[in-house]
Amino acid sequence: MFDVIIAGCGPTGAMLAAELRLHDVRVLVLEKDTGPTSSTRIVGLHVRTLELLAMRGLLDRVRPHGRQRPAGGFFAAIDRPAPPDLDTAHAYLLGIPHPVIVGLLEEHATQLGARVRRGDAVTGLGQDDDGVTVELADGNRLRTRYLVGCDGARSTVRKLLGVGFPGEPARAETLMGEMEVGVPPEEIGATVRDPRQRFWLRPFGNGVYSVLVPAADVSDRAEPPTLEDFRRQLRAVAGTDFGVHSPRWLSRFGDATRLAETYRVGRVLLAGDAAHIHPPLGGQGLNLGVQDAVNLGWKLAARVRGRAPETLLDTYGAERRPVAADVLDNTRAQMVLTSEEPGARALRRLVTELMDLDGVNRHLIEKIVGIAVRYDLGDGTDLVGRRLRDVEVGRGRLYDLLHRGRGLVLDRTGRLTVGGWSDRVDLRADPTVALDAPAVLLRPDGHVAWVGDDQRDLDDRLARWFGPPVTSPG
């Protein structure tokens, strides 16, 4: 029997497998596709995802494969830069080919000991008090203690569970891609600033532009779009096709917006697109899934290893589902702001004016890049529930202390201990650390679970998040 089977080896599934392996959980990843995706689509890794990669020692491995751009202009493609003092050490977007980030995360998971089997599609499941039986397309059955569906928007696991996926169906189709243009940049500038319906040309550098245009009557959605589709729609919307050529990737998407009614049914859980879908405006989808994985991984591992109460798994859905709901709402708002209806265009002009105010621009940027998230951990202290930026600790950085996926107590007082939790939680006593608190307890996902200086209070929080302490004989 496996400890955890993960259905789907996309970014969410691969990241979750790696997180579980940090805690010696026996993991099998089932991927229905027989080989890597052939898509060359570029995805954007936002600040919070970059921070999580840094926490696991992956950012230096990933960053050379991507292209950095400033962390601004995300919200409805309104051209406003990010505040210069954004609360992060990684204030940029990293554009990286989708197959590359998936490959790097899968490689990381397998290096840690996860098993990946391709060409195995989940077709059935049944669960009991001891585990889950997973049925495969070839008729074989596997047993596991837990199953996690990371199998995308059309999730088989979600459907087999009977979990509702309410929301709005797609009403509009949009083409999106990256390609070169055949006209000088000055001929494009005025058009980029024209907020027509779902339409932009945005420079990526080296003559490459991001192009977004309504799909209208373009061919069946089941068929991939062609460069000629883009040319035809550009002529219809802008009066010219800008001489587009040499596409890097081409795709289409709808504006369907749905959120799973629950993220967990017994021993089966959902993460990534299996739990939430939304239009890609703001580029939040992949990031949301990776962040799901990091939130879930240590909790599921603790449950598997008998080191946490059953209620710990409940915090996964309680924390991540509201975050997804917020992302769905902001993408709904962005879709409205890209409409060419008179009211929507007036609203876009108003929002553009408001974003000239630092507080408004900062709020929207922090929302999109994921650093505004604060989990409700039942404590009135403002820092509790938030993540910490990558501050200097001694001669190193805070995130370097989180590579193993363990908890961490940062203690400026020098008086605290982690006692019987030392097998799960590290202690770093440093009176010089840049911290507006005497001490904090960080969960493995980098969020603050406690602030204070009282040992008994700390012990209570350690037990809440990391289970009972290990006591030495005698």
Give the model's pLDDT for residue 195. Answer: 46
Give the model's pLDDT for residue 378. Answer: 83
pLDDT per residue, tens digit, the chain (474 aa), is 999 999 999 999 999 999 999 999 999 999 999 887 666 677 899 999 999 999 999 999 999 999 999 888 889 888 899 998 999 999 999 999 899 999 999 999 999 999 999 999 999 999 999 999 999 999 999 999 999 999 999 999 999 999 999 999 988 788 988 899 999 888 887 555 544 456 888 887 778 888 988 887 766 666 788 999 999 999 988 889 999 999 988 888 888 999 999 999 999 999 999 999 999 889 999 999 999 999 999 999 999 999 888 799 999 999 999 999 999 999 999 989 988 789 999 999 999 999 999 999 999 999 999 999 999 998 778 899 999 999 999 889 999 999 999 999 999 999 999 999 999 999 999 999 989 899 999 999 999 999 999 999 999 999 999 999 998 654
Give the model's pLDDT for residue 222. Answer: 64
- Secondary structure in 3-state letters for the chain: CEEEEEECCCHHHHHHHHHHHCCCCCEEEEECCCCCCCCCCEEEECHHHHHHHHHCCCHHHHHHHCEEEECCCCHHHCCCCCCCCCCCCCCEEEEEEHHHHHHHHHHHHHHCCCEEEECCCEEEEEECCCCEEEEECCCCEEEEEEEEECCCCCCHHHHHHCCCCCEECCCCEEEEEEEECCCCCHHHHHHHCCCCCCCEEEEEECCEEEEEEECCCCCCCCCCCCHHHHHHHHHHHHCCCCCCEEEEEEEEEECCEEECCCCEECCEEECHHHCEECCCCCCCHHHHHHHHHHHHHHHHHHHHCCCCCCHHHHHHHHHHHHHHHHHHHHHHHHHHHCCCCHHHHHHHHHHHHHCCCHHHHHHHHHHHHCCCCCCCCCCCCCCCCCECCCCEECCEEHHHHHCCCCEEEEECCCCCCCHHHCCCEEEEECCCCCCCCCEEEECCCCEEEEECCCHHHHHHHHHHHHCCCCCCCC
- CA-to-CA distance for 186 and 53, rounded, in angstroms? 38
From the list 139, 152, 425, 453, the residue with the least C-alpha distance to 302 is 425
From the list 89, 49, 389, 420, the residue with the least C-alpha distance to 410 is 389
Give the model's pLDDT for residue 323. Answer: 98
Alpha carbon 60 to its chain centroid, in Å, reads 18
Geometric angle at alpha carbon 314, from 310 and 316, rounded to 5°: 125
Phi-psi category of residue 84: left, alpha or beta, with phi > 0 → left and psi -120 to 50 → alpha: alpha
Sketch out the chain's domains with CATH numbers: 2-168+258-369 (3.50.50.60), 173-254 (3.30.70.2450), 392-466 (3.40.30.120)
Give the model's pLDDT for residue 474. Answer: 44
CB atoms within 10 A of CB 218: 20
Q: What is the CA radius of gyration of the chain?
A: 23
Give the model's pLDDT for residue 432. Answer: 92
Contact criterion met (CB below 8 Å) for 337 and 345: no
CA distances, 178 to each of 7, 212, 231, 339 (Å): 30, 9, 13, 22
Q: What is the pTM of this model?
A: 0.91
Contact criterion met (CB below 8 Å) for 127 and 267: yes
Phi, psi of 140, rounded to the nearest 5 degrees: -75, 160
